[in-house]
């Protein structure tokens, strides 16, 4: 009861769901930077390269592991306790699936048995972040957004204990797995649950998984470029690129918090919600890009002691305002239910990404990778914005199919 009262007071002090989710995501990103600092300082830049490789399945699992529920929980007519059960069961189901995927991946890309084990253990962060997204959506629906802080607090505790006790990267990763799993259980079990038949659970998952198809293409393309880069770059250069990409994650955090809190309203009234949201997101992206760029200089020169990071990080962050626009365009398609159109434009962006970024690495190494990522973001914004407003490339590709009168392809 004391913990519940504390979170209620926190909610009253901080204010709406957006700020509460943002506070949790900010702490989660602080944890991410703390993780990078601990890895670089305790285990070296080579270990950061191993972390960059492990991030490939982490990001993919964090997305696919939501089964699209972050988009559909606000749309379903199920009572809230049954929605909570749906999220909880999907989370449990994800853990064995993750292990089945991680082991062959680690064997394929690891340079040694020790690195393979580290990749598997680090990769178990995927279910943790998937559960974070699902519970966040459920907490917003239940007006319990203050409890979003539980998962990042558990993550932080794991980082502290791991830093104090671990003598190797694998042991450090194992400590994180244990603490993150405990935090996931606590967060889920604090939500009211109600029975939901198994067939109905799988029916909902089958319906919702289609909402992540476009995201899966986008994320898969992004991670495949890093996988390709891992064969073109040594572990130190790959570690530097991974640290730079982490800056993008930090700068994206406020935007995703706004989108998650606004999504139920966007589904209910998209024409009223999205114009104001687009303006707000663009301003936020410009401000965050500038602030995080200053932080990158501090990290590169005085924390990581990697001067090239202080140059490449701010350069990559020039794309942040464009990334915020891209999020708005992508989420609007899903709010309107335009799944097929979103999938088509994402496939086009995937093909571009697999061409532009590896070519940049081939020509200019880590600097070429950064420039290629900036170019890809700019092209993705143009393509997705054009598709959103005019039918664009997806319409041209599928012009032989009859158009719906509403302009929404389901």
Most confident of 15-29, 268-282, 380-394: 268-282
Give dist(CA 235, CA 30) in Å, integer: 24
Confidence of residue 156 (pLDDT cuts 50, 70, 90): very high
pLDDT score of 180: 94
Check pLDDT > 80 for residue 4: no
pLDDT score of 5: 52
The 8-class DSSP code of residue 404 comes to: P
Check pLDDT > 60 for residue 3: no
pLDDT score of 47: 92
Does residue 218 sit within a domain?
A: yes
Same domain, 222 and 280: yes
Confidence of residue 394 (pLDDT cuts 50, 70, 90): very low
Does residue 406 sit within a domain?
A: no
pLDDT score of 406: 34
Q: What is the pLDDT of residues 6-19, one digit of tens each?
A: 545 544 454 455 56
The 8-class DSSP code of residue 300 comes to: I
Q: Print the domain residue range for 143.
A: 1-196
Q: Which two tokens stand for residue 329?
A: 């365009």
Does residue 188 sit within a domain?
A: yes
Q: What mean pLDDT do residues 171-176 have?
A: 96
Does residue 201 sit within a domain?
A: no
Same domain, 169 and 223: no
- Count: domains in the chain: 2
Q: Which of 134, 163, 196 is the last residue of a domain?
A: 196
Confidence of residue 25 (pLDDT cuts 50, 70, 90): confident
Same domain, 53 and 157: yes
Contacts of 33 (CB under 8 A, 6+ apart): 246, 250, 299
Does residue 204 sit within a domain?
A: no
Give, for 115, the enclosing helix (H) or strand (E): helix 113-123
Q: What is the pLDDT of residues 217-266, one digit of tens each?
A: 777 777 877 788 778 888 888 888 888 988 898 888 777 777 777 777 88
Same domain, 192 and 293: no
Q: What is the pLDDT of residues 204-214, one digit of tens each?
A: 888 888 878 77
Same domain, 355 and 395: yes
Same domain, 192 and 218: no
Give dist(CA 160, CA 176) in Å, integer: 9
Same domain, 171 and 285: no
Give dist(CA 107, CA 386) in Å, integer: 42
Confidence of residue 392 (pLDDT cuts 50, 70, 90): very low
Give the rounded percent of residues in the chain with a pLDDT score beyond 70: 86
Start-end of H helices in 44-79: 45-64, 69-72
Q: Which of 196, 231, 251 is the last residue of a domain?
A: 196
Same domain, 172 and 282: no
Same domain, 29 and 76: yes
Same domain, 179 and 256: no
pLDDT score of 140: 66
Give dist(CA 272, CA 154) in Å, integer: 38
Q: Which of 196, 227, 246 is the last residue of a domain?
A: 196
Residues listed for the chain: 410
Residue identified by tokens 């891992």 is 230
Contacts of 157 (CB under 8 A, 6+ apart): 179, 183
Same domain, 154 and 230: no
Q: What is the pLDDT of residues 315-358, one digit of tens each?
A: 999 999 999 999 999 888 877 777 788 888 888 988 888 889 88
Does residue 85 sit within a domain?
A: yes
Q: Which two tokens stand for residue 125?
A: 């962060």
pLDDT score of 311: 94
Same domain, 255 and 110: no
The 8-class DSSP code of residue 194 comes to: -
Q: What is the 3-state secondary structure (H, E, C) of 210-231?
A: HHHHHHHHHHHHHHHHHHHHHH
Does residue 207 sit within a domain?
A: no
Does residue 405 sit within a domain?
A: no
């Amino acid at each position: 009861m004391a913990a519940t009262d504390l979170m209620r007071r926190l909610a009253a002090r901080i204010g709406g769901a957006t700020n509460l989710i943002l506070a949790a995501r900010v702490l989660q990103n602080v944890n991410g930077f703390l993780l990078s600092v601990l890895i670089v300082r305790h285990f070296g830049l080579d270990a950061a390269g191993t972390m960059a490789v492990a991030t490939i399945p982490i990001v993919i699992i964090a997305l696919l592991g939501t089964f699209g529920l972050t988009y559909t929980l606000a749309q379903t007519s199920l009572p809230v306790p049954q929605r909570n059960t749906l999220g909880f069961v999907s989370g449990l189901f994800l853990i064995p699936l993750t292990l089945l995927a991680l082991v062959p991946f680690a064997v394929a890309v690891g340079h040694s048995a020790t690195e393979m084990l580290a990749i598997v253990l680090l990769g178990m962060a995927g279910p943790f972040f998937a559960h974070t997204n699902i519970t966040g959506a459920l907490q917003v629906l239940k007006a319990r957004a203050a409890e979003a802080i539980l998962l990042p607090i558990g993550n932080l505790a794991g980082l502290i204990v791991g830093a104090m006790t671990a003598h190797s990267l694998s042991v450090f990763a194992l400590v994180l797995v244990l603490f993150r799993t405990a935090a996931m259980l606590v967060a889920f079990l604090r939500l009211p649950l109600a029975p939901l038949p198994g067939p109905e659970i799988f029916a909902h998952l089958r319906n919702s998984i289609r909402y992540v198809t476009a995201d899966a293409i986008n994320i898969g393309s992004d991670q495949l470029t890093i996988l390709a880069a891992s064969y073109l770059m040594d572990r130190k250069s790959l570690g530097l690129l991974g640290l730079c990409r982490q800056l993008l994650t930090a700068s994206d955090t406020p935007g995703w918090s706004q989108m998650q809190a606004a999504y139920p309203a966007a589904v209910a009234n998209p024409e009223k919600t999205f114009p104001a949201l687009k303006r707000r997101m663009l301003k936020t992206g410009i401000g965050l890009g500038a602030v995080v760029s200053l932080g990158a200089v501090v990290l590169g020169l005085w924390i990581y002691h990697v001067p090239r990071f202080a140059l490449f990080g701010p350069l990559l962050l020039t794309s942040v305002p464009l990334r915020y626009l891209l999020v708005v365009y992508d989420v609007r398609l899903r709010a309107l239910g335009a799944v097929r159109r979103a999938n088509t434009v994402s496939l086009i962006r995937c093909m571009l990404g697999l061409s532009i970024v590896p070519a940049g690495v081939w020509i200019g190494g880590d600097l070429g990778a950064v420039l290629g990522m900036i170019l890809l973001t700019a092209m993705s914004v143009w393509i997705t914005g054009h598709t959103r407003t005019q039918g664009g490339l997806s319409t041209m590709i599928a012009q032989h199919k009859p158009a719906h009168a509403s302009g929404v392809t389901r």
